[in-house]
């Protein structure tokens, strides 16, 4: 089946995939063929198969051309006013 990642939480190890027909599928870190996505992955195309458990995706593979991007680090500068 084809779908797109909605989101994936690296810390919890779970996420959601939206299938071509709009049906949502839950995915866990161990359900990926290789390693799970790191960083932003919303909209990344994936292939998967439906598990025996309803609404669960297994054998999930990220498409090569849609490799996820790392989240951009933002600097946390302290704004100093004049005293």
Q: What is the pLDDT of residues 16-72, one digit of tens each?
A: 999 988 999 999 999 999 889 888 889 999 999 999 999 999 999 998 655 555 555
55: left (phi over 0), alpha (psi -120 to 50) or beta: left
How much is the pLDDT for 33?
94
Q: Which one, of 25, 44, 3, 30, lies nearest residue 12 by Cα? A: 30
pTM to 2 decimals? 0.72
How much is the pLDDT for 26?
97
Query: Going by DSSP bridges, is the β-strand pair 24-28/14-19 parallel, antiparallel, or unpaired?
Result: antiparallel
Higher pLDDT, 77 or 32: 32
d(CA 67, CA 34): 12
How much is the pLDDT for 71?
57
């Amino acid at each position: 089946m084809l779908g797109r990642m909605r989101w994936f939480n690296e810390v919890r190890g779970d996420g959601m995939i939206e299938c071509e027909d709009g049906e949502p599928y839950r995915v866990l870190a161990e359900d990926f063929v290789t390693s799970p996505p790191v960083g932003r992955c919303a909209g990344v195309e994936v292939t998967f198969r439906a598990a025996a458990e309803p609404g669960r995706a297994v054998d999930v593979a990220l498409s090569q051309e849609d490799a996820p991007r790392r989240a951009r680090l933002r600097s946390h500068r302290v704004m100093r006013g004049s005293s």
